[in-house]
Homo-oligomer: A and B are copies of this chain.
Amino acid sequence: MSKEISQAVIRRMPRYYRYLGELLDVGVERISSNELSSKMKVTASQIRQDLNNFGGFGQQGYGYNVKYLYEEIGKILGLDHQHNIIVIGAGNLGQALANYVKFEKRGFMITGLFDVNPALLGLSVRGIEIRLLDELEEFVRNNKVDIAALTMPKERAEEVANQLVGLGVNAIWNFAHLDLELPEHVVVENVHLSDSLMQLSYNIVKKEYNAEKK
């Protein structure tokens, strides 16, 4: 992992991981890049190129060992580490995240759930107690927190993100509808649902336009 790999390649790795996991589940032990290619609808040369970024893994005439490749990609993606996640905002979206059992299988443990709404105090989601935002600082000081997911309204997101960074949390999974301005050492991954919806809408209009032209 010494050279810089483009985010476009990285963005495809979870998909490889997902497909390989499905192959493993149905007992497939090895697969050629051509078979993987037709399954994933990516060219075989793209697959070879992508995986060569990390040293290859394939063997001429044999293809890929599914379990080995799955585990190696898992390591590349950091899934051999446990990541503790706290969720700030215990509304529907925050609760949805806390309810995803599958995250845990990949080492992502939701360990805290915070909200400003006192009405939620005392409630818990899958055994995770909802705490008030006032308790955030104490919690982060006393527990290992690797990632904070922000599922709160954008108005307070910047302030809370800065507080978290000040407390040593260096990774933010941001669902708030703004681009956070944070120090460079902080890793931010955005999930902007409105942006995604607008992209969908663009593609709808474009398809309709193209269909009319025909």
Is B199 within 8 A of A14, CB to CB?
yes
- A172 smallest CB distance to B (angstroms): 8
Is B203 within 8 A of A187, CB to CB?
yes
Count chain A residues whose beta carbon lies closer than 8 angstroms to a beta carbon of B.
Answer: 59
Secondary structure type dominating chain A contacts: helix
How many monomers of this protein are in the complex? Answer: 2
Residues of chain A touching chain B, judged by Cβ–Cβ distance below 8 Å, are 1, 7, 10-11, 13-15, 17-18, 40-41, 76-79, 81, 83, 91-93, 95-97, 99-100, 102-103, 106, 108, 146-147, 170-171, 173, 177-179, 185, 187, 189, 191-207, 209, 211
14 A-B pairs whose Cβ atoms sit less than 8 Å apart in the complex = A10-B203, A13-B199, A14-B192, A14-B195, A14-B199, A40-B179, A76-B202, A78-B198, A78-B201, A91-B96, A102-B194, A106-B194, A187-B207, A191-B193
